[in-house]
Amino acid sequence: MVIVFPDASLADDSGLLAAGGNLAPETLLSAYRSGIFPWYQRTGEYLWWSPDPRMVLFPDEFHCSRRLARRLQQKRFRISENQAFADVMWDCAKREEGTWILPEMVDAYSRLFELGHAQSVEVWEGDELVGGLYGVQLGHAFFAESMFSRRTDASKVALAHLAEKARHEEWLFIDCQFHTDHLASLGAREIPRADFLRLLESALNPA
């Protein structure tokens, strides 16, 4: 059954738009195309969000600090794409404060990955996975879901790689969902939801 979402502009002040539904591929893709994403589960219900403002990283605005630039030049880490998607998700779920990345979320996004709609970036030290990120890519937009780091700067290395890929493939933006100081330090910024939805329309339907 195809889920019909309310208009994204109807979300409450926290960004919460709806509860319920499912995590079928067609549901997730419909949500992302509408500027909506799932975040966590409450009493058996999936919660769907469309915050205002929206945190976005424009590829040309990625801030690479001098320390990160040195880290990239050192070649300490090896970077790959789409080689350990589920492992990246499971490592993103290992948070002391708890996580919304429940087993059913891993299963759902792994299905999107198999269908070619989700991607991961992996950061390796030798044969050990020490950092990475994953998200959904549609048209000229990437919807970043989560990232993790087991070594200093490993997640930043993953994001730097993603930003470079975004520039090369002419993505309009990398969606970061909610504000964090960490993301802001890397160049992401908040924009009004209305602006985000217009950008999303352009990304999904390029002229």
Residue carrying structure tokens 């299905």: 111
Domain boundaries, given as residue ranges, for the chain = 8-49, 54-204
148: enclosing H helix or E strand: strand 141-149
Mean pLDDT, range 49-68, rounded to an integer: 96
Say what the pTM is.
Answer: 0.94
For position 41, what pLDDT does the model report? 67
Q: What angle do CA 137, 79, 112 make, to 5 degrees?
A: 25
Task: Output the six-digit token pair for 22.
Answer: 């499912």
The DSSP-derived string for 25-71 is: HHHHHHHHHTT-EEEEEETTEEEEE--SSEEEE-GGG----HHHHHH
Q: Report the chain's terminal Cα–Cα distance, integer Å.
A: 31
CATH number at 54-204: 3.40.630.70
The fold of 8-49 is Alpha-Beta Plaits (3.30.70)
Share of the chain above pLDDT 70, in %: 95
pLDDT tens profile 88-128: 999 999 976 657 788 999 999 999 999 999 999 999 999 99
pLDDT tens profile 116-172: 999 999 999 999 999 999 999 999 999 999 999 999 999 999 999 999 999 999 999
pLDDT tens profile 173-182: 999 999 999 9
For position 3, what pLDDT does the model report? 80
Most trustworthy range by pLDDT among 43-47, 63-67, 106-110:
106-110
Share of the chain above pLDDT 90, in %: 82
The span from the CA of 158 to the CA of 150, in Å, is: 12
- Mean pLDDT value across the chain: 94
